[in-house]
Homo-oligomer: A and B are copies of this chain.
């Protein structure tokens, strides 16, 4: 038993301290393809805030890196273990602590799966909107650490818009409460907001208070098929320009459709080369008008076919298919995933240029997009063993990242920086802003143990 392990045993029962190489291997990385990782020195499974605080204090004293981990569904390497680290898995800190119907808020432990929180809220007639595609598996703690998005964010905002307050274990092992539980509040710096999206580099989140909403009306679905990405991009711009507020506006291209078809035999790719899926939950006649406006925008942009779906089962199947795209692609090989966000009016141009980048690098770039937000997920599938395709694909996606920055966009819309976007971040942010990041990091994690080497170089 190493000194580190025996120290951890002083904090947690031995059954919740994993050091066996096979056991820890399952916690060594997230789903980011190509992000480096090593086996951690140990994996710990705390069940309480007090345990988290004690083990962080121990690691701070010993200078041992601490890597927080939710479900490991991240796509940027943010949860990847680093040399000599202790991975803190929140899988044993689950459950909704309380739902306050009158205040419309919930207190939830970080390991709670997103869909489980949503189900618990639904039982009380309430709604937690953020809906990342990983919602059946990803945890609220991970969602908060990466400020996760999802399809409904185009109308309802991202995770940070729902986080009111939280309990955090700092880099010194102290337990603090940040934020509030009231509707408004400006008492001091927005440190809760600073923690959202900080990817485990500023603190370990041990409880979260989220705002809830009244569930929306049943949504109307509008589907449009297009011959190519630029036409679909024009449709997106037309919807945005119309002032309509869809509660989802998703783009799925032919490569994605075919991958789902090959797996699930849904016959989607017969519908067209590029699909736009819009939802609209504005109630009553105004919602009818909105759905009609969205369909008109699709048609005016050159849709080869459009429909205001009246069949709820069909509409649900289309959105379910969209969720299946990523696992469907993973069946075909390693998936290199991008997550740029560009101004909505640039979607057409950026999609056209992504096609040219793919041609130049002799790769296929599959496109999935939260199009209404300008949040694009270009992906390259690397067939097993084809290292040449991997290299060309990675280069092509680096050009996509540069293109996003040059278009006034950002290198990550909702996946986070982790390890894979560190080059892009340094291109997006000025040296002075990077220096501000380092200063804040040092201020809140003076021992430098929280997820070191992620997001930005600490030197």
Task: List the interface of chain A (C-beta within 8 A of B).
Answer: 100-104, 125, 146-147, 149, 153-154, 158, 160-161, 170, 174-178, 180-191, 193-194, 196-198, 202, 214, 237, 240-241, 243, 245, 282-286, 341-345, 370, 372-375, 408-417, 421, 424-425, 428-430, 432-433, 436-437, 439-440, 442-444, 446, 455-456
Contacts and interface: CB of A to CB of B under 8 A. Distances in A.
B183 A374 contact: yes
A197 B191 contact: no
Contacts of A440: 189, 191, 194, 440, 443-444
A86 to B, nearest CB: 22
A413 B283 contact: no
A417 B191 contact: no
A188 B197 CA distance: 7
Contacts of A425: 187-188
Contacts of A245: 214
Nearest to A242: B214
B432 A176 contact: yes
B186 A417 contact: yes
Contacts of A437: 188-189, 191
Given A186-B414, A440-B440, 15 more contacts: A102-B240, A102-B345, A103-B345, A177-B430, A178-B433, A181-B408, A183-B341, A184-B410, A188-B455, A189-B194, A189-B198, A439-B443, A439-B444, A439-B446, A442-B443
A455 to B, nearest CB: 7
Contacts of A456: 188
Contacts of A343: 103, 181-182
Most buried by B among A182, A186, A283: A186
Contact of A177 (B154, B433, B446): B433
Contacts of A158: 184
Contact of A182 (B186, B196, B342): B342
A154 to B, nearest CB: 7
Contact of A194 (B103, B161, B193): B193
Contacts of A181: 343, 408
A283 B285 CA distance: 9
B345 A187 contact: no
Nearest 8 Cβ contacts at the A-B interface: A439-B443, A443-B443, A283-B286, A185-B410, A183-B373, A184-B413, A182-B341, A102-B345
A146 B196 CA distance: 20
Contacts of A202: 189
Nearest to A290: B283
A342 B432 CA distance: 39
A401 to B, nearest CB: 11
Contacts of A103: 343-345
Given A432-B174, A433-B178, A190 B197 contact: yes
A196 to B, nearest CB: 7
A102 B237 contact: yes
A187 B284 contact: no
A374 B444 contact: no
Contacts of A196: 190
Nearest to A214: B243
A100 B318 CA distance: 33
A72 B133 CA distance: 47
Contact of A433 (B101, B188, B243, B432): B188
